[in-house]
Amino acid sequence: MNPKAETDRNPMDMIKWGAVTLIVLVGVVGNQYYSEESLLYRVLALVVLAGCAAFVALATTQGVAFAALVKEARMEIRKVVWPTRPETMQTTLIVLGVVLLAALFLWGLDSLLGFVASMIIG
């Protein structure tokens, strides 16, 4: 996290966040007001308004920091060595086998304890 981004207060950021809030409110109120209109038109309008709000939000200091974070995360994802299909299948089968064994063990233990409890209670 960039400590400079947390300490710098740009007065324009407050105006931009106010604009984002206003755009979101227009979307919510407009969706309620035009509830009789086709769902397609309302969804399209909300997508356009969400795009406008995201554009304004990304112009703020926090938005720039968020965009940098997303870019760095994508670079890290590219560095990941993903397992091959056979490795994935083997691991999945091992997990399913262990889950099945644990389920059978717990079922047997529950049955045994139920039997013991019914013998005690009568």
Q: What is the pLDDT of residues 78-119, one digit of tens each?
A: 999 999 999 999 999 999 999 999 999 999 999 999 999 999
User: How far apart, in whole angstroms, are the C-alpha atoms of residue 90 and residue 77?
Assistant: 23
DSSP structure string for 58-97: TTSHHHHHHHHHHHHHHHHHHH--PPPHHHHHHHHHHHHH
Distance from chain centroid for Cα 94: 28
pLDDT number for residue 3: 56
- The pLDDT score that the predictor gives to residue 63 is 92
Give the start-to-end residue ranges of the domains of the chain: 1-80, 82-122
- Choose among 75, 69, 80, 59: nearest CA to 15: 59
Q: What is the mean pLDDT of the chain?
A: 91
Distance of CA 109 to the CA centre of its chain: 38
Which secondary structure element, helix H or strand E, spans residue 117, and what is its range?
A: helix 85-121
Residue 10 confidence (pLDDT): 81
Which DSSP state fits 35? Answer: T
Q: What pLDDT is attached to residue 9?
A: 73
- Please state, as a whole number, how many other Cβ atoms lie within 10 Å of the Cβ of residue 79: 6
Digit-coded pLDDT (tens) for 39-86: 999 999 999 999 999 999 999 999 999 999 999 999 999 999 999 999
- What is this structure's pTM? 0.57
